[in-house]
Structure 1
Amino acid sequence: MAAHRRSRQRPAGGTTARTAATIALAGAATAAGFDGSGHAEPQPAPDRVRADADRLYREAEAATEKYNGAQERAESARRRLRALQDERARREDRLASARAALGSVAAAQYRGGGLDPALRLVLSEDPDGYLDGAALAERVDSRRKAAVGRVRSQLREIERLRGAARIEVTSLTSRRAELKRHRTTITGKLTAARRLLSRLPPEQRAGLDEGTSRSSQGHRDGPAAPGPVTSPAAPGPRAAQAVSYAYRKLGSPYVWGATGPDAFDCSGLIQAAYRSAGVSLPRTTYAQIDAGRRIPRSELLPGDLVFFYSGISHVGIYVGGGRMIHAPNPSAPVRVAPLDEMPFAGATRVT
């Protein structure tokens, strides 16, 4: 029984020893300046989160512009395919008409055939009438040849249209696969950015929302109150109208691939602003930069397009005073921002 009691006391003694060791380690950790939460995952520094989120948003935006370009090419392929299909349908209608005409001529010749022309002339009771009929037959034969030629031409054209349509179907399939790849990249980057931001405590996250991506969001202080730039400050009425439109859209959410009227990505906002002024701009940043006359930064006027990063992956519309209006990323709405918040890549004046 004594042995039994000793066997039950050993674990208690071990627990006491472990408790003492734990207390000693805790005291050592306290002496060393630790808070005792060594097993908890360390909270990332807000500045590091800001930098990482910025990088992910920039990568997502670059993929968004590629997506926009692929979507534009896919839509062009769809339009070409529809035009080819419509033209082929028209050609097939003409082919049916040509075949019907050819069948009528062939049937008439069959009904009127059967005797050698010379013998028919000899036996005819009306040689003059026969000769007139022979001339008509020659003309009918010429029409038959023309009808055959039209049928052959229509068949060749329909085959050409079918080949062109096959090419467009291949192109459209490729564009759709490209869209899927870019969509996967975009959603992956945005999900990673949201997951990164969610690691911060709520109070830090709230502060980050106001200043996240100062290199791509801008801020609300200073002369950012909505108010259109008047036409004397802009190079023309179209530029002034585009700036006015951008001011009216302050606060609109960023949605990748969106072109308004209630949500935008960066190039979608620019396209919509100039569309309101009657100007058609390309869909993507890397096409928009070539849509006007390049100008140096020192000559910027309201309405000019300003581009950022080496890959020309972001665009805003200049509003004067060293500022622009742009659609930053999903963490911030359309807002006013200083140009210096991002690496400046070039500017274009829409004419």
Structure 2
Amino acid sequence: MGSHRRLVPSGFDRGAAAALGVLSAAAAALGTVPAVAAPHDDTRSRVDRLYEEAEKATEAYNKADERADVLRGQVGDAQDRIARQQERLNSMREQLGSLAGAQYRSGGLDPTLALLFSDDPDDYLAKAAAIDRISSHQAGELKDLQDVMRQLAQERAEATKKLGELEKSRKAVASHKRTVEKKLAEARQLLNSLPDDERAGYDRSSRSGRDDLPDLGGALPTSGRAAAAVAAARSALGRPYVWGANGPSGFDCSGLMQWSYAQAGVALPRTSQAQRYAGRQVPLSQAQPGDLVTYRSDASHVGMYAGNGQVIHAPYPGAPVRYDPVGMMPGATVTRV
């Protein structure tokens, strides 16, 4: 997602310095605002702003949705532990009931009177010792029972807390979803108000498919996993932008990065903000294929460096996964996974 306008790139890989002129021309071809504003430029800038706001809300949605998934797993684990503790508690209660019955049957008569009426004092003393042992064992069982009951109460309290957090996260997901849909609906309405030729010009991608590949230079990925991720991202060229999606039929910006690295056996976090810190930071001038490039001060957009000053990314609704100049947006930072 993000603005279709392209800014001057601030850094490239080895051999990419010669691409400065190419990138400038690409920026111009993609609809850079002319010095004298055209009648519909204000509409286009508002669409850009709405797409940017929608993308920020999309990443917030992704974060809340990821949090909800984690909480659902934690609640499920807590419920399993509660069930096991309850089974243990029921079993201990049954054992204590048996011990209590045995003590009653064996020790229902006052020990002093039992000694007076006993025909065999030695036999009585043996029985009394057995009663003492039962009582001591029962005391230990009672303590264990109390411990299990405390653990069970704690598990239930924690599960209740997690359920409350899950409900808040679900509400956050719904709220962010409404925000995204509202921003996108406003953007579509504004785009539909443009003349057909201007709307088509806005939606025109720099390179949208495999048949029009840019010159990526001779830069090589820094690792096998980076090479596999680049290959996966290139295989997604032309697939649609779908907000909140992480493939394989559609992607938002961070979803494309997560899916591409998953094909290389690497688990990236879901949001662009978290992906920014999923590896080692390197200067933009040292970017290599497979590096993640995040944009804006809040890292609300992310793409993958492909070489020679180009990134692969999922731009915004209506624009497919494509190549664009690395300097397409401000605030670029590079992360090597």
User: Would you call these one fold, judging by a TM-score over 0.5?
Assistant: yes
Q: Residues 303-343 of structure 1, C-alpha deviation per residue, up to 9 Å, x if partnerless?
A: 00001111110000101101110000112010011111111
How many angstroms does 1:206 deviate by? 2.1
- Structure 1 distance, partners of 2:114, 2:215, is 96
How many angstroms does 1:202 deviate by? 2.4
* Cross-structure match for 2:28: none
* Cross-structure match for 1:104: 98
Change in Cα spacing, 1:229 to 1:155, as seen in structure 2 (3 Å) is farther
- Structure 1 distance, partners of 2:104, 2:149, is 25
How many angstroms does 1:142 deviate by? 1.4
* Cross-structure match for 1:145: 139
Point out the more displaced range, 312-321 or 118-127.
Answer: 118-127
How many angstroms does 1:155 deviate by? 1.3
| Structure 2 residue 287 is matched with structure 1 residue 300 | yes
Look up the equivalent residue of 1:323 and give its one-letter code: Q
* Cross-structure match for 1:314: 301
Q: Residues 44-66 of structure 1, C-alpha deviation per residue, up to 9 Å, x if partnerless?
A: 83433332211111110010001
* Equivalent in 45, 49, 52 of residue 51 of structure 1: 45
* Cross-structure match for 2:277: 290
| Structure 2 residue 112 is matched with structure 1 residue 118 | yes
* Equivalent in 223, 229, 233 of residue 220 of structure 2: 233
* Equivalent in 258, 261, 270 of residue 245 of structure 2: 258
- Structure 2 distance, partners of 1:321, 1:305, is 15
Larger helix share, 1 or 2: 1
Superposition RMSD in Å = 2.2
How many angstroms does 1:226 deviate by? 8.8
How many angstroms does 1:120 deviate by? 2.1
Point out the more displaced range, 171-180 or 91-100.
Answer: 171-180
Matches within 5 A, 1:152-231: 152-211=146-205, 218-220=206-208, 225=213
Look up the equivalent residue of 1:195 and give its one-letter code: Q
- Structure 2 distance, partners of 1:223, 1:342, is 25
Change in Cα spacing, 1:106 to 1:226, as seen in structure 2 (3 Å) is farther
Q: Residues 242-264 of structure 1, C-alpha deviation per residue, up to 9 Å, x if partnerless?
A: 00000000011111110111111
* Cross-structure match for 1:268: 255
Change in Cα spacing, 1:226 to 1:81, as seen in structure 2 (3 Å) is farther
The size of the alignment, in residue pairs, is: 300
Look up the equivalent residue of 2:223 and give its one-letter code: G
How many angstroms does 1:344 deviate by? 3.2
Change in Cα spacing, 1:340 to 1:229, as seen in structure 2 (3 Å) is closer
- Structure 2 distance, partners of 1:158, 1:250, is 52
Look up the equivalent residue of 1:279 and give its one-letter code: V
* Cross-structure match for 1:95: 89
- Structure 1 distance, partners of 2:269, 2:277, is 9
Look up the equivalent residue of 1:104 and give its one-letter code: S
> Normalization by structure 1: what TM-score?
0.81
The higher radius of gyration belongs to 1
Point out the more displaced range, 158-167 or 325-334.
Answer: 158-167
- Structure 2 distance, partners of 1:311, 1:116, is 80
SS of 1:318's partner is strand
How many angstroms does 1:136 deviate by? 1.7
Look up the equivalent residue of 1:177 and give its one-letter code: K
Point out the more displaced range, 140-149 or 288-297.
Answer: 140-149
Question: Sequence identity of aligned pairs in percent?
Answer: 46
Change in Cα spacing, 1:189 to 1:72, as seen in structure 2 (3 Å) is same
SS of 1:195's partner is helix
Q: Residues 259-285 of structure 1, C-alpha deviation per residue, up to 9 Å, x if partnerless?
A: 111111000000011111111111111
Q: Residues 94-142 of structure 1, C-alpha deviation per residue, up to 9 Å, x if partnerless?
A: 0000100010011111112232223323432333333222222111111
Q: Which has the higher contact order (CA 8 A, sep 6+)?
A: 2
Change in Cα spacing, 1:221 to 1:334, as seen in structure 2 (3 Å) is closer
- Structure 2 distance, partners of 1:208, 1:202, is 10
* Cross-structure match for 2:313: 326
- Structure 2 distance, partners of 1:187, 1:239, is 34
* Cross-structure match for 1:16: none
How many angstroms does 1:207 deviate by? 2.5
- Structure 2 distance, partners of 1:49, 1:323, is 28
Change in Cα spacing, 1:293 to 1:224, as seen in structure 2 (3 Å) is farther
1:226 and 1:247 in contact (8 A); partners too: no
| Structure 2 residue 79 is matched with structure 1 residue 85 | yes
Q: Residues 145-173 of structure 1, C-alpha deviation per residue, up to 9 Å, x if partnerless?
A: 12211221121111111111121111111
Change in Cα spacing, 1:221 to 1:96, as seen in structure 2 (3 Å) is closer
1:226 and 1:248 in contact (8 A); partners too: no
SS of 1:125's partner is coil
Change in Cα spacing, 1:252 to 1:221, as seen in structure 2 (3 Å) is closer
- Structure 2 distance, partners of 1:229, 1:142, is 82
Change in Cα spacing, 1:59 to 1:124, as seen in structure 2 (3 Å) is same
